Amino acid sequence: MSGVDTAQRTTVLFTTSMNLSGTSGGNIATRELIAAIGNLSHVDLLLICPRPLTQLPDRISAVISDVWFLPQKESGSISWHAKAQLPMLKNLLQAFISYDVDVVTSRVGPTTIFPPVVTTLSNTEYDILVRGMVSRNLKFKRVIDLILRLNAVRSDEAYVAYNEIKSIIDSYRLPSQSPSIIVPNGVNPDKFQPVDKDAARSQLDIEFDPDEFVIGFVGSIKQRHSLRPLIESLQSLPDDPSLTALIVGSGPLVDELVRLTEKLDIRDRVTFTGFVPHESVNTYISACDVLYGVVSPENPSNPIKCYEYLSCERPIITTDVPEFEFVGQHDLGAFVESPTPDAIASCITDFMQMDEKDIEKMGTRGREYVVDNHTWEIAAKRIITTD
């Protein structure tokens, strides 16, 4: 947001169709960003979002001045987006009647039709956040792309998470508009504190050998996280009991991946934990030596897990994309140009041959870097600007 006088309070109305009590990366990222915006000293935050299953997270309730709810969201339901349209319009009008709104900031989704319309009619500043591929894997792709175009054209500022989205949004914006701004995902470093590796392992209900080298993954078990080649890479590595993989999370591919480990005869080298509460994730990360944050080239993203890994002082293996250039520049991990089993195995081998102290130093640099450059507070300040 531009032109804000820091001597005055600024009323920001944030709209989203994300389930703020959900556990996916998108839900978590939106929740953290809202909390960070609400914590800015000059902001009074209003919120429109789907009604949570129980209640809003405390970190959000503590920083908002008022909230209006859309219908409770039905997982995977396209029809929900249609049913949410009238409540979204009513809530926007109620917010404008009740408060002197300075700016509307919307995380764009398939529901984001009325925010650009209402802000145009009221001549209110409108900023958009596009954090993922809005129409990916959804029906009515053409309609959703039209909604995205409407938001891109109407918005005063557009903030995107990574290069692929920037290319799309900039192709929609008019020549007179400023280009979109990349604001990558971030981390809450207070939540993702490092734990000593041995201490972390002792806290988990998992048996670790004293000298075990663990390659870890935390997140949803979905195709776009390229977990199949990670597991296949273990087969090409020496049958060394000191090398294992720790897969933390749940998702639609769990059963398939378990069967793959059985087929490859490496079931005893891969541990699947199932769902783990977000507040406990740092312990699982800290129990690993190196963490895996590669994404499929067909489904680009800017995974928050990579920032969480680094915040816990663990090096990462990730995708060679502009948003993660800093990993190579500051020696915080390793890249794979393409997520093939051979490329992943080569990275793991390089780490296993490193001195443990060098890995620890790499982890320390990682936390220092993300704390200085990639917290949610920093992201919020870039979006709600004061110049």
Confidence of residue 314 (pLDDT cuts 50, 70, 90): very high
Task: Report residue 335 as tokens.
Answer: 């890249």
pLDDT at 179: 98
Q: What is the pLDDT of residues 61-106, one digit of tens each?
A: 999 999 999 999 876 567 888 899 999 999 999 999 999 999 999 9
pLDDT at 34: 98
Span of 72-86, 109-123, 329-343 with lowest mean pLDDT:
72-86
Taking the C-alpha atoms of residue 21 and residue 318, their distance in angstroms, rounded to an integer, is: 28
The yes-or-no verdict on residue 54 having pLDDT over 70 is yes
Q: How confident is the model at residue 136 (pLDDT cuts 50, 70, 90)?
A: low
Mean predicted lDDT score pLDDT of the chain: 92
pLDDT for 3: 42
- What is the biggest distance separating any 2 CA atoms in the chain, rounded to whole angstroms? 67
The predicted pLDDT at position 111 comes to: 80
CATH fold of 197-373, please?
Rossmann fold (3.40.50)
Q: Which amino acid is at 155?
A: S
3-state secondary structure (DSSP) of residue 191: coil
* pLDDT score, position 82: 86
Task: Return the closest-CA partner of residue 130 out of 114, 102, 149, 117.
Answer: 149
Look at 24 and 304; give whichever has higher pLDDT.
304
pLDDT on residue 232 = 96
For residues 314 and 327, give the distance between their C-alpha atoms in angstroms, rounded to a whole number: 12
Whether 294 has a pLDDT exceeding 50, the answer reads yes
Q: What percent of the chain shows pLDDT beyond 90?
A: 80
Instruction: Between 268 and 76, name the one with better pLDDT.
Output: 268
Q: What is the pLDDT of residue 2?
A: 46
As a whole number of angstroms, the distance between CA 360 and CA 313 comes to: 7
SS3 state of residue 303? coil
User: Binning pLDDT at 50, 70 and 90, where does residue 144 land?
Assistant: confident
The mean pLDDT of 38-51, rounded to a whole number, is 97
Fold equal for 10-183 and 197-373: yes
Query: Which of 17-26, 177-186, 234-243, 365-374 comes out lowest in average pLDDT?
Result: 234-243
Which residues does 339 contact at the CB level (< 8 Å), separation at least 6? 226, 229, 230, 294, 295, 296, 297, 319
pLDDT at 135 exceeding the cut of 60: no
Is the model's pLDDT at 387 over the cut of 70? Answer: no
CA distance 147 to 382: 25
Q: In angstroms, rounded to a whole number, what is the distance separating the alpha carbons of residues 11 and 43?
A: 6
Identify the pLDDT of residue 79. Answer: 83
Q: Which two tokens stand for residue 257?
A: 């991946």
Beta bridge partners of 362: none
pLDDT at 202 over 50: yes
Average of per-residue pLDDT across 293-305: 89
Per domain, the residue ranges of the chain are 10-183, 197-373
44 SS3 class: strand
If pLDDT is split at 50, 70 and 90, which confidence band does 116 have?
very high
Average pLDDT over residues 315-327: 94
DSSP per position, 202-231 = HHSSS---TT-EEEEEES---GGG-HHHHH
Region of poorest pLDDT, from 113-127, 235-249, 274-288, 350-364 = 235-249
Mean pLDDT (whole number) for 218-226: 92
Choosing among 3.40.50.300, 3.30.1180.20, 3.40.50.2000, 3.30.200.20, the CATH entry for 10-183 is 3.40.50.2000
Determine the pLDDT at residue 133: 73
Quick one: pLDDT at residue 5?
46
